[in-house]
Amino acid sequence: MTQPSSTERQRPTSFAFWTVALAVAGSCGATAAWAQTTYPVTPQQRATAQQTAQAGVPLSELSPKAPDEYTVKPGDTLWAISRLYLLRPWRWPELWGMNINEIQDPHRIYPGQVLYLDKSGGRARLTTRRGAAGGDGGTIKLSPRTRFDSLAGMALPTLNPSLIEPFLSEPIVVDANTLDAAPRIVAGNDSRVLLSRGDRAYARGNAESPLVEKPGPVQHYRIFRSATPLKDPGTGEILGYEAQYLGKAQLQRGESTTIETTDNKDIITVVPASIDIIASREEMRAGDRLLPEPPRQLLSYAPRAPSTQVDGRIVSVYGNAVQYAAQNQVVAINKGTRDGIDNGHVLAILKNGETILDRTGARKETIKLPNERIGLLMVFRTFEKVSYALVLEINDTPRAGDFLVNP
């Protein structure tokens, strides 16, 4: 975009830090549209703003290394900046001094802004302004220049987008019957058994819902394979089925039928739909299922502690045959929307203490070691009974079965 030759801008004095949106967009046009959009504020966000407006946090909540000034740099994330200032970074809405009158169009955080820490009155608050430190305290003057930049990289995301963007569209949790009822690949072109990007394939729906063309834009589908059951480590309940993401396809021609006459008899023959594989993560084959491509999502994360007590477990490590998770890895947890879990909820990870045999006493005795806190994770995608979360910080190795509690 082009900057004006000269202008004066009033410094924003406060902003709703947690409502910075992460755009999942595949083109510059889509990203530009996101950057120009005003996002709605949820009732919960508004209530939080009303409760914490201009309150700040106690000085005891500040990190010992919290700087008085900090210039935002390209590559920063909101979580990293809050970790720089706070011992408990999920309390950042309080630190940023909400301005309720401006919350419908919250200020975003950009590289080049300077953050100022105010410790007056025994409470800590942050304010910001564009540009470098210094100035007359009223306006910032921009010298004449022309600069072209992608809108996609300007506002800071809550987390590093590359860590979670694939998981916003790839993993899907379904019930036992959803994939069975979905259209399926029946063959590849030229008798191909394994399919990848650029290949033509053929697919069919079921008798009640054939795979046909519909008016409007070209239809796109995501391709999945056999769903893996997600079982609650505590109760054994099947929470859903995690479908394995393989790639994407575009419908070129819908299913149809032909009628051929043989020995004075009309024989109806099914002609499957033609699809082109336009993206592949793994090779596809006959039997894999197609689900409609969902609309692009613009998600606003509100990292915060849940308002009610959570007693959860890690179910599995996504896309891995092992049970152990590393930092910045995605895990499935046994709590979803039915349990009040929402995008942005931050949970503490407790290592499930081992059960061991104590041989040090007069007689052998089975004991269980205490559960120890070993890190934090943040929920970024929810389903009814299960959610996906990003492991933010760890000081030990989380694994399937570890406990989750309020931070």
pLDDT tens readout for residues 171-207: 678 887 888 889 999 999 888 889 999 999 999 998 8
Residue 197 DSSP class: T
> Picking from 29-38, 207-216, 275-284, 379-388, which range would have the lowest pLDDT averaged per residue?
29-38
Nearest one of 22, 46, 169 to 104, comparing CA atoms: 46
- Is a pLDDT exceeding 50 seen at residue 250? yes
Q: How far, in Å, CA of 199 to CA of 407, rounded?
A: 48
Q: How confident is the model at residue 54 (pLDDT cuts 50, 70, 90)?
A: low
The predicted pLDDT at position 57 comes to 82
| Rounded Cα distance, 168 and 388, in Å | 9
- pLDDT on residue 321: 62
Residue 168, SS3 per DSSP: helix
Higher pLDDT, 165 or 83: 83
The Cα-based distances of 121 to 54, 55, 59, 64, 382 in angstroms read 12, 10, 10, 18, 40
C-alpha–C-alpha distance, residues 287 and 183, integer Å: 9
Q: What is the model's pLDDT at position 373?
A: 94
As a whole number, the mean pLDDT across the chain is 77
Annotate 45-80 with DSSP letters as a single string. HHHHHHHHTTT-EEGGGB-TT--SEEE--TT--HHH
Instruction: Give the Å distances, CA to CA, from 116 to 68, 127, 386.
Output: 6, 5, 40
CA 207 vs CA 177, 214, 254: distances in Å: 15, 17, 14
Q: In the structure, what pLDDT confidence band is assigned to residue 117 with cuts at 50, 70 and 90?
A: confident
Residue 86 DSSP code: B
Q: Measuring CA to CA, which residue among 234, 233, 212 is closest to residue 221?
A: 212
Stated pTM of the model: 0.69
pLDDT-derived band at 284 (thresholds 50, 70, 90) equals very high
Residue 94 CB: number of other CB atoms within 10 A? 24
DSSP 189: G
Q: Which residue has the higher pLDDT, 20 or 89?
A: 89
Greater pLDDT, 275 or 191 = 275
Q: Which of 98-102, 209-213, 256-260, 341-345 has the lowest mean pLDDT?
A: 98-102
Cβ pair 242, 173 in contact under 8 A: yes
Decide if 19 contacts 157 (C-beta within 8 A): no
Above pLDDT 90, what percent of the chain? 34
More reliable by pLDDT, 272 or 151: 272
Mean pLDDT of 102-109: 45
Give the per-residue pLDDT at 219.
92
What is the radius of gyration, based on Cα positions, of the chain?
A: 26
